[in-house]
Amino acid sequence: MMKFFKWILILAGGLILIIVLALLVIPMFVDVQQYKPHIEKRVSEAVGRPFSLGGDLKFSLFPWAGLSFNDLKLGNPSGFEEKDFVSIHSFDVRVKLLPLLSKDIQIKRFVVQGAQVVLEKTRDGRVNWEFKEKTLKELPSETQREIPKTGNSFEGLPLKALSVGEFEVSDGSVLWIDHAKNERKKVSDMRLHLKDISLDQPVHLDFFARVENHPLSLTGHIGPMGKDIGKGTIPLDLSLKAVDHLAMNLKGRIVDPISRLQFDMAVDISPFSPRELADNLGEKFPIVTADPKAFGRIAFRTRLKGDLQQISLLDGMLEIDDSKADFSFDVKDLSKPAVIFDFNLDRIDADRYLPPSSETKPAEKTEKAEPSNSELKKMDYTPLRRIVLDGDVKLGELKIAKARIQGVHLKISGKKGLFDLDPITLNLYQGTLSAKGAFDVRQDDPRSRISLQADGIQARPLLNDVLDKDCLEGNAKAQVELNVTGDEADRIKKSLNGSGNLLFNDGAIKGIDLAGMVRNVKVAFGLAEKGAEEIRTDFSELNFPFTITDGVVNTTNATLMSPLLRVTANGKADLVSEILDLRMEPKFVATLKGQADSMERVGIMVPVQVTGTFSSPTFRPDLKGILKQDIKEVLPELKQQIKEGAIEKEDLKKSMEEKAKQLIRDLPFGR
């Protein structure tokens, strides 16, 4: 029996020796160079483009299975500017063969030098990274293989051990060329170095590149990976630095990346200046803002958690300049997203981030040609019809259009293309505003509606801030209902319908003396000497009810009431053609008493016709109407002066137009 085992061991040892000798000797006698043309031909046929190995092809089997070559080139199809799609200066890999039998992968060396990839896009939209797929019939018969329909290449491949001595990619580059945009970008000096590669230890990663000659680095640790590749929990801790300005840290874990990817990691972007980053990249900052220092500082932090079906941003923090926001964001079912978010911002000056206001005067503006129907691209609302939305937004302080607002609260919810904004609440200028609205995109033309109520708003500081004009005082109250269809400016104006009422109590119109119109034509329209008193029309109530029909604003009984006079206004303003057609009628009272004046005074009515356009309104006093008034108390000399021309009609008209135009410019629609 012992002799039998002895002979078995001798035979086994001899067989192993023969195999080892064969592995050592075969590469010495086999000229792998003669197979280069065959390899080049087969690869070229498979990919449908030129392929070559310019240098020597070296092959070894024992103790390390090795393969090395130089000057590999995979060409581009015809029609591309660059000759090569991929080129590699040198490649060298060495793997131990015998440990592979026990699923122990030992790599002594994996080195790639001078790898270059060129991504090119032609003017007609063709790209060089797309390969034409060949059918099995077109391929040589000996290369045909049955393609598995299911399964994963990593499944059923547990490893006992993995170790890599040297893993390095150096002097790599990626060139991007877009001939349609005349764009050329390059990532150069790419280096990747991996240390301590094994299954039971974290792998150290060190990557560096230059993006358009600007440094980019990624360093950190990944793993341990575990023996079952693609399964289990894989920790990671990575730091990204770009252009010496942007620094981001990613720390967390990935679970089962092959079968059912899950991730949970903290994302932290340190404070940086986007403007300085763009400047260092030699790029123009993409957003033009009224404040050239806006977006001077940004910081971001959140916890990113999810899988292939759900993504959550938890405990989020965003800082933009002097503003700070806390937020959370959750998306379920990415194919038909259900979005839940909460956003809480302490304060923001939105005017800083809006485009700068044009300093061009109206007369200097040049008319732009209207885009043709072919140039107008219809907005696609299909994504909004798939989304389910539930969001809550709060702003502590908001400045927009120079108006100062506090306590903004907006809640938005919706699905299948119908979104409700309810409630919308805010505080401004000692008053409150509440609203609710809807945005409907279930059809191709979106429909919107809004209902708002305002109470207790002080008109003077609001108009001073927004318009930089001191033209109106009073306690404002409003109720407005509006409906609109479309998403283009002209369509919106033409489809605007609704009604409302604006009410001002205990205020004044500044810059015009309507009471003076009743008392004295000369004083009212600036034909007499100016006094030291401020020109104003005090009122106890200013009421402006209106309706809007297809973009035309109508008012039938706008009134101003004061102890001195009553004023009514009727007419319309066409928002589409921007044409005015209004008539104002001041009504005098029987007795008017000024302060510390017991003398009874009487006056006359001066009707005013307002026509023209929004940009160039025309105001015409109805002088004939004045002369036709049969008022016994009217001063005879005043009537005689108008008849004799002592008060020139043209002067009266010109003075009145100037005053009325100035007043109309002070109002919001006068802008």
Question: Which pLDDT value is given to residue 244?
Answer: 81
Mean pLDDT of the chain: 78
Question: Which pLDDT value is given to residue 239?
Answer: 95
More confident residue, 335 or 8: 335
The model's pTM is 0.72
Which pLDDT band, with edges at 50, 70 and 90, does 462 fall under? very high
Phi, psi of 606 (to 5 degrees): -120, 90
What pLDDT, in 10s, does the model give residues 67-125? 788 888 888 888 888 899 999 898 888 887 666 666 777 778 888 899 899 999 998 88
Which tokens sit at 107?
A: 């790599």
Which amino acid is it at 382? T
Task: Please say whether the beta carbons of 220 and 239 come within 8 A.
Answer: yes
- Using the CB atoms, write b or e for 401-420: b if 16+ within 10 Å: eebbbeebebbbebeebebe
Task: Please say whether the beta carbons of 195 and 203 come within 8 A.
Answer: yes
CA–CA distance, 120 with 49 (Å, rounded to integer): 15
Contacts of 533 (CB under 8 A, 6+ apart): none
Q: At 623, which helix (H) or strand (E)?
A: helix 623-628
More confident residue, 70 or 497: 497
- Using the CB atoms, write b or e for 170-196: b if 16+ within 10 Å: bebbbeebebeeeeeeebebbebebee
Contacts of 215 (CB under 8 A, 6+ apart): 208, 209, 241, 242, 243, 244
Q: By C-alpha distance, which of 255, 214, 262, 222 is closest to 239?
A: 222
Angle at alpha carbon of residue 157, lines to 151 and 163, rounded to 5°? 140
H helix intervals, 201-287: 274-280
CA–CA distance, 589 with 561 (Å, rounded to integer): 11
Strands 552-561 vs 565-574: parallel, antiparallel or unpaired: antiparallel
Residue 227, burial from CB neighbour count under 10 angstroms (0-12, 13-18, 19+): middle
More confident residue, 146 or 85: 85
What residues are paired with 573 via a beta bridge?
A: 553, 580
Residue 531 has pLDDT above 80, yes or no: no
**Radius of gyration from C-alpha coordinates of the chain:** 40
Contacts of 415 (CB under 8 A, 6+ apart): 387, 388, 389
More confident residue, 256 or 15: 256
Task: Please say whether the beta carbons of 126 and 79 come within 8 A.
Answer: yes
Q: Sign of the C-alpha dihedral, residues 476, 481, 483, 487?
A: positive
Question: Which pLDDT value is given to residue 45?
Answer: 84
DSSP string, 419-458: EEEEEEEEEETTEEEEEEEEEE-SSSS-EEEEEEEEEEEE
CA–CA distance, 606 with 525 (Å, rounded to integer): 11
Instruction: Taking residues 307-312, report their average pLDDT.
Output: 91
Question: Which pLDDT value is given to residue 618?
Answer: 79
Phi, psi of 256 (to 5 degrees): 45, 65
More confident residue, 2 or 158: 158
Residue 224 has pLDDT above 80, yes or no: yes
Which pLDDT band, with edges at 50, 70 and 90, does 641 fall under? very low
Question: Which pLDDT value is given to residue 589?
Answer: 54
Q: By C-alpha distance, which of 219, 279, 290 is closest to 249?
A: 219
Q: By C-alpha distance, which of 252, 247, 354 is closest to 298?
A: 247
Task: Please say whether the beta carbons of 569 and 587 come within 8 A.
Answer: no
Task: Please say whether the beta carbons of 572 and 552 come within 8 A.
Answer: yes
Residue 620 has pLDDT above 90, yes or no: no
CA–CA distance, 530 with 662 (Å, rounded to integer): 17
3-class SS of residue 337:
coil
Task: Please say whether the beta carbons of 191 and 169 come within 8 A.
Answer: yes
Which tokens sit at 68?
A: 């090395």
